[in-house]
């Protein structure tokens, strides 16, 4: 049931359609934006308010095996931040790793209506889909981890690229994923098989003639060839290490002019010598991204306070365990992935943490094309998605930024350009980095804008001087044409849908994968692919449109 | 998949949900006329019994106080009982699908009740230890592919998880263990010499109740500390044996510590599990090392996962304030029963009436109990409302999580005349939510309209 | 003799197969009422395989039949029983704030039922 609705008198920010703060009417029917509705449509008076498409999180960790392990791990993270139910909504618990219901409702209370889980093992796809079913309001999809997949690495090593193309498509299709995710490609085998070591260079041969660069190149090529709506989503090697900006530049260069998305690029923009304190290389990284329209990235902003590190980059989590000295989780997934989890706190007085905070802001402020440098905190790694309103305020309000700078490690500020940057984001630019940009990078043609035919995912904010307040509490949130939040109160519940792709593949590839499977996996091949019962509401996004 | 005999159906790659091994390589021969499984190829002795004995029994689908009623009447009575209780508890859940578990948590949320699973009397202490120190772990396929040192501590898989050795951890040939058992050293630590002992290269028998001391001594040795010479007197294990084991652990390529209820059910409980998890973590300074509780029931791991993703906590959760709170010792079922807190109970696929402490069982006899089970048990015998349900993985599909958190989809072998747990629980949930909303909008017609407007999750 | 012994309830194969048949059936009842005991301990008490013994502690009591095990398999002073309704009779309900009652290593006394 989705009523027709007319939103009147609102200031509309719809950058994809070049609408920048015009007073404009938006009509909704059957869950979509339409040209007009009948006079019987209900009226939403948005006088004195800002109307934007619903927010889209291109990179977060909200569902699946590692997220759930992090929830189980941290009762202390939930108990101070309860999430009561209402007659219409389920209860839950919050903190940096909220329960599924709390996750969906809290995204909605920020005006976000779509979120992409950024790292799921193929064998954990079923689990993720089950959690998605319990994650209300928002639409969601996930990126499947293939960069340390042993079978696929064998194909690259043996230069069987035709079969590689087919196998990647089979894996993506069989898991109901949205795109391919690479995390520290080549790093799992040293971790699991060589006493917890790691790769340190993009051209290092991890074993028998295979380097991270070859893996990265193979995935970029196949995904671009097949025209996935979103390119490979890459977590580069050497995350967090001083001097890693070179690895990041080399990773981007590997793409040539093919599309690639670099995840949480802030964590990959460090200069300095390995083992010593880093300095900012945000300018170098921003310059490369600015001048290469084939590259998109999300920032992975660090926000001070409690976070939870959760990553398929197991060696990185072990390094951080050495700093935090607290509890730590490691999970090896057979033939596919590693994983590390630990509680973490970013502190203003620590050089490294301040520098990370500053580099993220520098990247935003040095960005010449807001469509391609997208807002994220790599939730919950850099901080919770609940910190987005504060981050928006940091970008829109230079004075506030300078106030905040007084509270941080001053030595670190000397090693970056943040104090000199005067830029303030406009509402239109915020609409780009939180809505239109991620929709475009994801190839979601009916999201991130308010033109005719768009999904009726709409957020209406009261205009306020304090942008943190403004973006914390939209007055109305409409999802798929349903009035979910009205005057700040939940009015109904809604499940949202799964977004996934179904790239085509030659069925014969299964005969090639199967023998490997029977030897080295611990479940049966025919029980591995996820069947359609796990889809609930879903939408297949077209593959092949952006073919090169 | 037809056979020469028309009435025999063969189901390949079916899953056995009897224990936490969740072996998904069953070949089931199903006699569709008789509605029974005549053969379960690849099953162990427990699995064979599981498949052979779950036939369709001639019994009512629903009973109230021992009298046969319609399923709808029973659902109404169950919903009323739960909504009218002040401290309703839900318990069990380890022998049903995740789909059913999700409904059970929803019911507890709506009625502001208490939810707990059999985890609290199984590896609950390991869950608490996990919250304290974390865990280095892996899926079972990594053990098969890589482990050259396999240690079992306080468990007897030969009798409780018969295929654990053969399918996952000891004999299978893997990527870096091409010779199977020849490439591994197997150690068993237990206070009794059980039927698992023959598989072990090294058997260590500590004094009962001294597991913590042995584990802590190993932590010290791994870190290079010296132990006092009376360690043998204290633990029953000679210093040389401990030193040898510590060296083997540090020098292996990929080590694994499997542990059972010999640690969690004895003096020390979560301290024992915590010591073992900390030992595995420590060893990562020297090599790659993982640990894993050997979980009991078919989907107890799924129960942990579902309760965690819906509430943030793995078991022992209470909704009385309108949001989940976690407090083992207060909201765990042995406590809610033996302290006399619970005034109604929804028991799903579990038999506390037989396995709980005497005092808890006595309280269970004094409150209205609603049960869902495939067979008669001591608990169904004492229940106010009893549903007989279909057996998961034999009559139903659905999702089950193996002990290493790997989710597997079940295949149904033959239909049951009884509804499955998910169906019953979904109906109870809907009715409970209606009753709760009716209370919220007492008397108002707008309440009805708002109820109708809800898109149920 | 009234010196205390340590009771370890646990799983056994036979318990696992018989519970599938039904927990109210005779086979399961028999399996969960069979106590394993160190042979030397049995000799000391004048017990032979199949004898009925009363087993009790401060929580409750139960009557089971006993069967001997070799001393190298089951040390002196230890008792093993497949867990079930009889062992529950002896289990204390205190969980020390964990949710888990002490389900193994219960101190019990036994005597032959004449």
C-alpha pair distances (Å), C36 with each of C17, C50, C84: 18, 10, 14
pLDDT digits (tens, 9 = 90+) for A406-434: 999 999 999 999 999 999 999 999 999 99
* A88/B308 CB distance under 8 A: no
Asked if residue A158 has pLDDT above 50, the reply is: yes
Residue B381 and residue B242 share a domain: no
Judge whether A271 and A242 are in contact, CB under 8 Å.
Answer: yes
Q: Which DSSP string do the residues of B322-364 spell out, in sequence order?
A: SS-EE-TTTSSHHHHHHTT--SEEEEES--HHHHS-HHHHHHH
Q: Flag if B284 and A318 touch (Cβ within 8 Å).
A: yes
Whether residue B440 lies within 8 A of chain C, CB to CB, comes out as: no
Q: Give the whole-angstrom CA distance, residue A460 versus residue A44.
A: 10
Residue A42 lies in a domain: no
- 8 A C-beta contact, residue A222 and residue A168: yes
CA dist B359 → B277, B352, C109 (Å): 33, 11, 20
- Chain C within 8 Å of B382 (Cβ-Cβ)? no
Average pLDDT over residues B111-115: 98
Q: Does B209 share its domain with B308? A: no
- Cβ contact, residue pair C59, B357, below 8 Å: yes
Q: Report pLDDT for B4.
A: 53
Do B131 and B276 reside in the same domain of the chain? yes
Average of per-residue pLDDT across B117-141: 97
* Alpha carbons B87 and B452: distance in angstroms, whole number: 28
Nearest-by-Cβ selection for C99 from B296, B334, B377:
B334
- Give the B window 59-98 contacts with C, CB below 8 Å: none
> Residue B1: pLDDT above 50?
no
Compare CB distances from C95 to B45, B335, B376 and report the shortest one's residue: B335
Mean predicted confidence (pLDDT) in A346-358: 98
R_g of chain B, CA atoms, integer Å:
24
B175 and chain C in contact, CB less than 8 A: no
Q: pLDDT, tens digit, for every residue of A247-298?
A: 999 999 999 999 999 999 999 999 999 989 999 999 999 999 999 999 999 9
**B74, B130: one domain:** no
Nearest Cα of chain B lies from the Cα of A313 at a distance, in angstroms, of 14
pLDDT attached to residue B293:
97
Q: How far, in Å, CA of B344 to CA of B369, rounded?
A: 6
Query: Which domain covers residue A409, as residue numbers?
Result: 51-498
Residue of B nearest to A136 (CA): B457
B-A interface (Cβ pairs under 8 Å ≥ 3): yes
Write out pLDDT tens, residues B135-168.
999 999 999 999 999 999 999 999 999 999 999 9
Task: Quote the radius of gyration of chain C (alpha carbons, Å).
Answer: 14
First to last CA, chain A: 40
CA closest to B314 among chain A residues: A72
Neighbouring chains to C with at least 3 Cβ pairs closer than 8 Å: B
Alpha helix ranges (H) inside B140-269: 140-146, 157-160, 211-222, 231-235, 239-251, 261-264
Judge: A520–B175 Cβ closer than 8 Å, yes or no.
yes
CATH number at residue B423: 3.40.50.740
Summary mean pLDDT of chain A: 96
Of the candidates A71, A92, A524, the beta carbon closest to that of B24 is on A524
Structurally, how many domains does chain A consist of?
Answer: 1
- Whether A38 is in a domain gets the answer no
Position C88 pLDDT exceeds 70: yes
| pLDDT at B441 (0 to 100) | 82
Q: Rounded to 5 degrees, what angle do the CA atoms A327, A331, A336 make?
A: 155
> In b/e form, how buried is each residue of B385-420, taking b as 16+ CB within 10 angstroms?
bbbbbbbbbbbbbbbbbbbbbbbbbbbbbbebebbb
Tell me the pTM. 0.97
With bands split at pLDDT 50, 70 and 90, how would you rate the model's confidence at A2? low
Q: Which two tokens stand for residue A161?
A: 């690229």
* Averaged pLDDT for residues A159-186: 98
Q: Which strands make up the sheet holding B385-388, listed edge to edge?
A: B67-68, B62-64, B385-388, B369-373, B344-348, B88-92, B114-115, B317-318, B325-326
Residue A544: per-residue pLDDT: 87
Mean predicted confidence (pLDDT) in A106-132: 98
pLDDT band, residue B452 (cuts 50/70/90): very low
Q: Which helix (H) or strand (E) holds A161?
A: helix A161-175
The reported pLDDT for the residue numbered B456 is 41
Its sign, for the CA torsion B35, B39, B44, B48, is: positive
Whether B2 is in a domain gets the answer no
Domain that holds residue B351: 62-119+300-453
Contact present, A394 and A362 (Cβ < 8 Å): no
Residue B230 counted as domain residue: yes
Average pLDDT of chain B is 95
- Strands, E assignment, A32-91: 32-34, 42-45, 49-53, 55-60, 82-83
> Using CB atoms, which residue from B106, B138, B305 is nearest to A68?
B305
Cβ-based burial of B1 (10 A; exposed 0-12, middle 13-18, buried ≥19): exposed
- For an interface test with C, give the residue of B120, B266, B304, B380 to mutate (most C CBs within 10 A): B266
Per-residue model confidence (pLDDT) at position B264: 95
Q: Above pLDDT 90, what percent of chain A?
A: 97
Per-residue pLDDT at A206: 77
Residue A88, pLDDT > 90, answer no
Chains B and C touch (3+ CB pairs under 8 A): yes
Contact C26/B at CB under 8 A: no
Residue ranges covered by each domain of chain C: 5-112
C104 touches chain B (CB under 8 A): yes
Q: Report the pLDDT averaged over residues B32-60.
A: 96
Closest approach of chain B CAs to the CA of C34, in angstroms?
16
Question: Which option is the CATH number for C5-112: 2.40.40.20, 2.160.10.10, 2.120.10.30, 3.40.50.12160?
Answer: 2.40.40.20
Q: Give per-residue pLDDT as tens, C28-67.
A: 999 999 999 999 999 999 999 999 999 999 999 999 999 9
Which one of C95, C96, C108 would you mutate to disrupt binding with B, by most B Cβ within 10 Å of its Cβ?
C95
Does the distance separating the beta carbons of C96 and B120 come in below 8 Å?
Answer: no
pLDDT at B130 over 90: yes
> Is B375 in Cβ contact with C22 (below 8 Å)?
yes
CA dihedral A252, A255, A260, A264 (to 10 degrees): -20
Nearest CB partner across the interface for B453, out of A1, A527, A530: A1
Other Cβ atoms within 10 Å of C76 Cβ, number: 12
Q: b or e along A429-446 (b: 16 or more beta carbons within 10 Å of the residue's beta carbon)?
A: bbbbbbbbbbbbbbbbbb
Query: What does the pLDDT read at residue A1?
Result: 45
Q: Scan residues 130-159 of B and list those with Cβ closer than 8 Å to C.
A: 156, 158-159
- Band of residue B440 on the pLDDT scale cut at 50, 70, 90: confident
Q: How many CB atoms lie within 10 A of CB B65?
A: 11
Task: Give pLDDT, residue B2.
Answer: 45
Exposure string for A37-48, b = 16+ CB within 10 A, e = fewer: beeebeebebee
pLDDT tens for A195-247 read: 999 999 999 987 778 999 999 999 999 999 999 999 999 999 999 999 999 99
| Number of domains into which chain B is organized | 3
Contacts of C17 in chain B (CB under 8 A): 45-46, 48-49
Beta bridge partners, A181, equal A145, A233
Query: Given this model, what pLDDT does residue B445 score?
Result: 44
Please answer yes or no on whether C10 and B261 come within 8 Å at the CB atom: yes
Partner-chain contact A68 B12, CB within 8 Å:
no
Taking an 8 Å cut-off on Cβ atoms, the answer to whether B407 and A520 are in contact is no
Q: What are the pLDDT digits (tens) for B202-243?
A: 999 999 999 999 999 999 999 999 998 899 999 999 999 999
pLDDT of residue A348: 98
Strand, coil or helix: B159: helix
A78: CATH: 3.20.20
CATH number for B185: 3.40.228.10
Structure tokens at A535: 């889809």
The count of C-alpha atoms lying within 13 angstroms of the C-alpha of B208, restricted to the half-sphere facing its C-beta, is: 23
Cβ–Cβ below 8 Å for B49 and C21: yes
Contact list in B for residue C91 (CB cut-off 8 A) is 356-358
Is the pLDDT assigned to residue B416 strictly greater than 80? yes
Query: Which residue from A91, A133, A191 is facing B109, i.e. has the nearest CB?
Result: A91
DSSP B23: -
Are B309 and A134 within 8 A, CB to CB? yes
Among B103, B139, B426, pick the best mutation site for testing chain A contact (most A Cβ within 10 A).
Answer: B139
Instruction: Please compute the mean of the pLDDT values over residues A477-496 and round it to a whole number.
Output: 95
C-alpha span between B211 and B214 (Å, rounded): 5
């Amino acid at each position: 049931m989705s009523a027709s609705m007319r939103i009147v008198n609102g200031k509309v920010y719809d950058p994809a359609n070049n609408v920048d703060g015009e007073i404009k009417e938006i009509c909704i029917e059957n869950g979509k934006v339409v040209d007009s509705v009948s006079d019987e449509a209900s009226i939403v008076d948005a006088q004195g308010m800002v109307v934007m498409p619903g927010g889209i999180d291109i990179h977060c960790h909200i569902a699946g095996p590692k997220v759930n392990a992090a929830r189980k791990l941290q009762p202390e993270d939930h108990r101070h931040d309860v999430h009561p139910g209402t007659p219409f909504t389920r209860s839950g618990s919050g903190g940096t790793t909220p329960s599924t219901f709390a996750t969906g409702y809290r995204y909605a209370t920020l005006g976000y209506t779509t979120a992409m889980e950024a790292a799921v093992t193929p064998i954990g796809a079923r689990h993720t889909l089950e959690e998605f079913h319990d994650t209300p309001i928002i639409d969601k999809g996930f990126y499947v981890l293939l960069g340390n997949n042993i079978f696929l690495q064998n194909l690259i090593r043996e230069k069987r690229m035709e079969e590689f193309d087919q196998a990647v498509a089979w894996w993506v299709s069989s898991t109901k994923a949205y795109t391919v995710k690479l995390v520290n490609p080549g790093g799992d085998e040293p971790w699991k098989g060589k006493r917890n070591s790691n790769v340190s260079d993009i051209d290092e041969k991890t074993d028998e003639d295979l380097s991270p660069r070859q893996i990265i190149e193979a995935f970029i090529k196949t995904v671009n060839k097949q025209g996935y709506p979103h390119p490979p989503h890459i977590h580069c090697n050497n995350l967090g290490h001083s001097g890693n900006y070179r690895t990041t530049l080399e990773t981007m260069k590997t793409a040539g002019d093919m599309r690639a998305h670099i995840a949480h690029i802030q964590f990959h923009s460090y200069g300095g010598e390995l083992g010593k304190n880093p300095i900012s290389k945000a300018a170098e990284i921003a310059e490369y991204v600015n001048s290469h329209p084939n590259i998109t990235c999300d920032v992975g902003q660090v926000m001070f306070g409690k976070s939870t590190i959760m990553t398929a980059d197991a060696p990185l989590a072990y390094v951080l365990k050495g700093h935090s000295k607290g509890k730590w989780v490691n999970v090896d997934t057979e033939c596919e992935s590693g994983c590390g989890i630990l509680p973490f706190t970013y502190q203003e007085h620590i050089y490294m943490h301040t520098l990370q905070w500053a580099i993220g802001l520098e990247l935003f402020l040095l960005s010449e094309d807001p469509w391609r440098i997208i807002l994220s905190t790599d939730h919950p790694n850099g901080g919770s998605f609940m910190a987005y309103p504060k981050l928006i305020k940091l970008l829109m309000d230079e004075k506030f930024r300078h106030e905040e700078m007084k509270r941080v490690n001053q030595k670190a500020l000397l090693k970056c350009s943040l104090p000199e940057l005067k830029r303030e984001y406009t509402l239109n630019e915020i609409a780009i980095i939180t809505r239109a940009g991620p929709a475009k990078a994801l190839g979601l043609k009916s999201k991130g804008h308010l033109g005719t035919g768009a999904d009726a995912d709409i957020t209406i904010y009261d205009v306020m001087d304090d942008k943190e307040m403004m973006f914390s509490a939209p007055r109305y949130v409409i999802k798929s044409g349903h009035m979910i939040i009205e005057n700040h109160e939940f009015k109904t519940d809604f499940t949202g849908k799964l977004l996934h792709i179904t790239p085509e593949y030659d069925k014969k590839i299964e005969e090639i994968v199967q023998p490997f499977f029977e030897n080295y996996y611990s479940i049966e091949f025919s029980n591995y692919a996820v069947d359609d019962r796990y889809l609930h509401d879903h939408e297949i996004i077209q593959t092949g449109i952006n073919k090169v | 998949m037809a056979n020469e005999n028309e009435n025999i159906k063969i189901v390949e790659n079916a899953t056995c949900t009897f224990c936490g091994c969740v072996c998904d390589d069953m070949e089931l021969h199903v006699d569709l006329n008789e509605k029974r499984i005549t053969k379960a190829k690849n099953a162990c002795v427990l699995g064979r019994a599981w498949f052979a004995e779950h036939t369709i029994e001639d019994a009512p689908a629903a009973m109230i106080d021992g009298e046969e009623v319609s399923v709808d009447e029973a659902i109404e009575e169950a919903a009323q009982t739960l909504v009218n209780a002040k401290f309703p508890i839900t318990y069990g859940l380890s022998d049903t699908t995740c789909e059913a578990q999700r409904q059970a948590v929803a019911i507890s949320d709506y009625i502001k009740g208490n939810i707990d699973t059999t985890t609290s009397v199984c590896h609950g202490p390991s869950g608490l230890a996990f919250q304290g120190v974390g865990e280095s772990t892996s899926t079972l396929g990594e053990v098969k592919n890589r482990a050259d040192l396999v240690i079992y501590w306080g468990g007897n898989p030969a009798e409780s998880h018969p295929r654990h050795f053969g399918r996952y951890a000891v004999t299978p040939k893997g990527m870096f263990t091409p010779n199977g058992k020849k490439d591994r050293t197997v150690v068993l630590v237990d206070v009794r010499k059980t039927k698992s002992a023959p598989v072990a290269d090294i058997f260590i028998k500590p004094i009962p109740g001294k597991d913590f001391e042995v584990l802590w001594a190993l932590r010290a040795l791994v870190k290079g500390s010296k132990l006092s010479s009376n360690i043998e007197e204290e633990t029953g294990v000679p210093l040389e044996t401990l030193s040898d084991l510590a060296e083997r652990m540090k020098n292996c390529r990929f080590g694994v510590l499997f542990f059972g209820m010999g640690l969690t059910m004895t003096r020390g409980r979560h301290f024992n599990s915590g010591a073992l998890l900390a030992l595995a973590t420590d060893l990562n300074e020297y090599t790659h090392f993982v640990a894993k509780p050997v979980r009991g029931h078919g989907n107890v791991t799924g129960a942990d996962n579902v309760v965690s993703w819906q509430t943030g906590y793995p078991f022992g959760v209470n909704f009385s304030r309108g949001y989940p709170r976690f407090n083992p010792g207060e909201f765990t079922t042995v406590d809610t029963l033996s302290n006399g807190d619970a005034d109604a109970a929804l028991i799903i696929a579990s038999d506390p009436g037989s396995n709980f402490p005497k005092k808890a069982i006595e309280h269970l006899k004094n409150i209205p109990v609603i049960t869902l089970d495939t067979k008669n048990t001591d608990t169904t015998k004492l229940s106010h409302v009893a549903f007989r349900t279909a057996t998961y993985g034999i009559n139903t599909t659905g999702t089950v999580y193996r002990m290493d958190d790997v989710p597997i989809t079940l295949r149904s072998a033959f239909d049951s005349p009884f509804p499955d747990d998910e169906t019953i629980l979904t109906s109870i949930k809907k009715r409970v939510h209606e009753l709760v909303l009716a209370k919220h909008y007492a008397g108002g017609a707008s309440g009805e309209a708002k109820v109708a407007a809800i898109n149920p999750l | 003799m009234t010196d205390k012994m340590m009771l370890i309830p646990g799983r056994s194969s036979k318990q696992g197969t018989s519970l599938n048949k039904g927990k109210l059936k005779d086979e399961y009842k028999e399996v969960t009422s069979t106590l394993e005991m160190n042979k030397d301990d049995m000799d000391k008490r004048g017990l032979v395989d199949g004898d009925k013994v009363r087993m009790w502690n401060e929580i409750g009591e139960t009557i089971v039949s006993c069967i001997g095990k070799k001393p190298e398999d089951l040390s002196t002073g230890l008792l093993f029983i497949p867990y079930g309704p009889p062992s529950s009779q002896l289990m204390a309900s205190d969980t020390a704030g964990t949710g888990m009652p002490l389900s193994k290593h219960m101190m019990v006394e036994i005597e032959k039922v004449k």
